[in-house]
């Protein structure tokens, strides 16, 4: 399932697309979306975990 990307998400999307293996970008994006619907946050977590499956910081 895809999510709608707002104007405020573009900088975060660009960052994680340019550097998908850098945890900091994913964590910033997740923090930015923390008040979004659960499904939206889940989709971003799933994308992050596909890039960084061994990252304990994403799992906790």
Q: What is the pLDDT of residue 1?
A: 58
Asked if 32 and 8 touch (Cβ cutoff 8 Å), the reply is: yes
Q: What percent of the chain has pLDDT over 90?
A: 88
pTM of the model: 0.90
Which string of DSSP letters, residue by residue, matches 4-35? PPPGGGHHHHHHHHH-TT-HHHHHHHHHHTTT
Burial class (CB in 10 A: 0-12, 13-18, 19+), 11: exposed
Q: What is the pLDDT of residue 2?
A: 75
Q: What percent of the chain has pLDDT over 70?
A: 98
Count of CB atoms situated within 10 Å of the CB of 17: 9
Placement of tokens 């890039």 in the chain: 51
């Amino acid at each position: 399932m895809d999510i709608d990307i707002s104007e405020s998400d573009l900088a975060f999307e660009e960052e994680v697309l340019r550097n998908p293996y850098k945890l900091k970008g994913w964590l910033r994006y997740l923090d930015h979306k923390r008040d979004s619907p659960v499904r939206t946050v889940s989709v971003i977590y799933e994308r992050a975990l596909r890039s960084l499956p061994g990252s304990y910081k994403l799992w906790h």
